[in-house]
Amino acid sequence: MKMKLAEVAKAISVENDISKWQDVEISSVAFDSRQIANGALFVPLSGQQDGHKFVQDAFAHGASATLWASDHAAEENNHPVLVVKDPLTALQELGKYYLGKINPKVIAVTGSNGKTTTKDMIASILSTQMNVTKTYENFNNQIGVPVTLLNMESNTEAVVVEMGMDHFSELDFLTNMVHPDIAVITMIGEAHIEFFGTRDKIADAKMEITHGLQEDGTFVFNGDEPLLTQRASQVDQEQRTFGRQLENDLYATSVNLTSHEIKFTTNMWPETEFTIPMMGEYNVNNALAALSVAYLMRIEPGHVQSGLEHVELTQNRTAWLQGQAGEQILSDVYNSNPTAAKQVLHAFARTEVTGQRVAVLGDMLELGDAAPELHASLATELDPSKIQSVYLIGPHMRALRDKLADKYPAEALHYYSIEQKETMTSEVQAMLTKDDVVLLKGSHGIHLETVLASLQKS
């Protein structure tokens, strides 16, 4: 972005006189004073700490201006300050204004699983023929979405916006901020079921992404999911479905899997074979969602091939890494829910290995009263003939341990409390060899990335 402070002030209804600073240039926004770039507008947000405490630090790191909440006492300041009623609302208003100014095509993506991978795939494909901005990491909420918008370069032709939610009305707010041209729902699972109670209600919440869809926009969704097909009848805009069933507008006609890549063909481009540089048949649906967007955006099949094959995935999603013993590590430590965990375990059990397969599983969070039952349900994907050793950590994983007790020998089934993470890490390290493969999967709150770091230390 590049705007004079006068333009910023007009977009967000600033309450104070900024005439002496109106020609100051703003080139980015930031809400973390430690990550300020020269020319940034600092946005002091209220969270665990009040961001106003870090305004001076932001200026010391190169900020050109700051927002300031009108209910906070004024400070003597020789730097440009824009007084607003609420800095978060101002950030959102500025993002919406800048989106209208740049006017790219907007693709919004949500879903219980796969939204980040799908976002990455869409952006990679579109980037073969367009200037594209995509959501950075997991900046997919009421703060992250406007930050994504404000990170667009002036020549952006398409922006791919990931949208997350764990309560009703969140997607309604986000979609009405960006008014997408294409709205995508990858699938409905059990993520955040603690807050919604049923998958039906999760589907209702996900459907909010269509509330802001442009009148001439297109709703792209997983046609294999009855909860979505039922609700799609209430959407007036054009619709396109993807999935594995032949009734969908786009479906896979062949799928060939290896431990590190997937090759598949589709009904839409029958002569073209696509390659995804990742494992797991579930990723075919993510790719089909991305191909649906590519079709709507008129991307040539050859460019679609290239974009998929060279996709750069967001960190800590399913990726193969190497450990210090030479073992292969399948790292998926950003998040976990029952559907995603079963999918990954199913794929992991079929990976090529000369040693043994080892699964390290952490608690899946935000499952509410259903947590014991849903954790125990992972037992269907754990077979000692395929996954030889299982390490479980977290209070909810006790239910899975109990379910597996008659299935696994005692020496192959290990359980730890959160406080025993270091012990678990040491014991996993001690048993791994260069011939083994190990899966790390758990919700972000369990922080299995620390286990990953230890396994990779030289």
376 lies in a domain?
Answer: yes
Same domain, 48 and 140: no
Same domain, 330 and 227: no
Question: Does 425 appear as a known binding residue?
Answer: no
Report pTM: 0.86
90 lies in a domain?
Answer: no
pLDDT tens per residue, range 442-451: 998 999 999 9
Q: Give how far Cα 381 sits from Cα of 42, 258, 342, 344, 439, Å.
A: 47, 18, 6, 9, 13
CATH of the domain at 179: 3.40.1190.10
3-state secondary structure of 255: strand
Same domain, 132 and 67: no
* Locus of tokens 């201006």: 65
Confidence of residue 318 (pLDDT cuts 50, 70, 90): confident
The whole-angstrom separation of Cα 311 and Cα 265 is: 18
pLDDT tens per residue, range 158-205: 999 999 988 899 999 999 999 999 999 999 987 666 677 788 999 999
Domain boundary, last residue among 309, 344, 361: 309
Domain boundary, last residue among 280, 309, 338: 309
Sequential DSSP letters for 120-137: HHHHHHHTTTS-EEE--T
Q: Which helix (H) or strand (E) holds 69?
A: strand 65-69
Same domain, 287 and 361: no
Same domain, 144 and 206: yes
> In 216-227, which positions are buried (b, 16+ CB within 10 angstroms) versus exposed (e)?
ebbbbbbbbbeb
Question: Does 114 appear as a known binding residue?
Answer: yes
Same domain, 265 and 116: yes
Same domain, 44 and 70: yes
Same domain, 284 and 178: yes
User: Residue 193 phi/psi, 5° resolution?
Assistant: -65, -20
Largest CA distance in the chain: 75
Question: Does 116 appear as a known binding residue?
Answer: yes
pLDDT tens per residue, range 336-349: 889 889 989 999 99
Residue 320's pLDDT is 86
Same domain, 168 and 39: no
18 lies in a domain?
Answer: yes
380 lies in a domain?
Answer: yes
pLDDT tens per residue, range 62-105: 999 999 999 998 887 789 999 999 999 999 999 999 999 999 99
Residue 190's pLDDT is 75
Question: Does 111 appear as a known binding residue?
Answer: yes
CATH of the domain at 42: 3.40.1390.10
Residue % of the chain over a pLDDT of 90: 83
Question: Does 131 appear as a known binding residue?
Answer: no
Angle at Cα 377 formed by Cα 376 and Cα 380, nearest 5°?
A: 115
In this structure, the strands spanning 158-162 and 105-110 are parallel
CATH of the domain at 422: 3.90.190.20
Q: Which of 438, 389, 429 is nearest to 409 (CA)?
A: 389
* Host domain of residue 375: 319-456
Listed in sequence order, the residues at least 6 apart from 334 whose beta carbon sits closer than 8 Å to its beta carbon are 116, 138, 314, 315, 316, 317, 444
User: 132 pairs with which residues across the strands?
Assistant: 158
Q: Average per-residue pLDDT in the chain?
A: 94
Question: Does 117 appear as a known binding residue?
Answer: yes
pLDDT tens per residue, range 229-267: 999 999 999 999 999 999 999 999 999 988 789 999 999
314 lies in a domain?
Answer: no
257 lies in a domain?
Answer: yes
227 lies in a domain?
Answer: yes
Mean pLDDT of 307-335: 87
User: Residue 244 phi/psi, 5° resolution?
Assistant: -100, -15
The whole-angstrom separation of Cα 165 and Cα 172 is: 10
Question: Does 254 appear as a known binding residue?
Answer: no
Same domain, 286 and 249: yes
Residue 291's pLDDT is 98
Tell which wins on pLDDT, 77 or 289: 289
Terminal CA-CA length for the chain: 41
Same domain, 120 and 254: yes
92 lies in a domain?
Answer: no
Same domain, 220 and 250: yes
Residue 317's pLDDT is 66
Number of domains in the chain: 3
